[in-house]
Amino acid sequence: MSALPHSPHALVTGGGRGIGRAIAASLVGAGATVTVLGRNAATLEEAVSAGAAHYAAVADVSDEAALRAAIAAAHARKPIDILIANAGSAESAPFAKSDSALFSRMMEINFMGVVHAVSSVLPGMKDRPYGRIVAIASTAGLKGYAYVSAYTAAKHAVVGLVRSLALEMAGSNVTVNAVCPGFTDTDLVAGSIDNIMKKTGRTREQAIAELAKHNPQGRLITPQEVANAVLWLCSENAGAITGQAIAVAGGEI
């Protein structure tokens, strides 16, 4: 098991379901105190009740004021040592039909949500003996995909932020990395599968195969596989790993 310092406090945005919940549960299992943050109070409280987290904080990452207030309250309970900036959203459209509002939504949720979360925790974190920031980006942050230009641009921005911030923090005890999953078996991808079925008339199995073909292993990634990579990056053993964008994608990248 990856070794964490004694009971760090981890904040996981988008932590109520999917990849975020798997990460939260893994951190709990490794001895961390975990706060999950998201928009749906019922989903977050269910995660707490199930033992996947200790505390819940309700905020939309695209609402800067609400996000900062929720993080400040979590930090006041216990200083935050680990930030997992996982919350995100994907919308698909051909570029010709992707208006400025779509680009703004994708940047606000997928990129600025990371920026605001990081800037909220960093002042307290960099003066502590240990800090970990992990942004959950996507293989879309490392390559292009058709029909998701706005989402892809936002995820590229996340990877660029990670690489720059890691250099700024290199003289501290804070590491900054990105984990870039391929298509993962989550609610978000389930929405993409439904969209493929609706637009193409394919069966669910055919739609899943359309996404899985990007992975040389011919399958969807599991949330736990992403969580395993995050847990290692949060460990004391990964103190020299910073500024990286690690693909969890079966060899796609």
CA 158 to CA 156: how far, in whole Å?
Answer: 5
For residue 55, indicate whether it is catalytic.
no
Instruction: From the candidates 55, 130, 145, 151, give the one annotated as an active-site residue.
Output: 151
User: Rounded to whole angstroms, how far apart are CA atoms 168 and 170?
Assistant: 6
- CA R_g for the chain: 17
DSSP state of 249: S
Q: How far apart are CA 210 and CA 196, in angstroms?
A: 9
Residues, the chain: 253
Dihedral pair phi/psi, residue 121, rounded to 5°: -95, -25
Burial of 200 (0-12, 13-18, 19+ CB in 10 A): exposed
State the amino acid at position 88 in one-letter form.
G
DSSP string, 177-238: EEEEE-SBSSHHHHHHHHHHHHHH---HHHHHHHHHTTSTTSSPBPHHHHHHHHHHHHSGGG
The neighbouring-strand residues paired with 174 are: 131
Residue 119 tokens read as: 């800037």
CA 16 to CA 48: how far, in whole Å? 9
b/e per residue 4-27 (b: at least 16 CB within 10 A): bbeebbbbbbbbbbbbbbbbbbbb
Active-site residues: which are they? Answer: 151
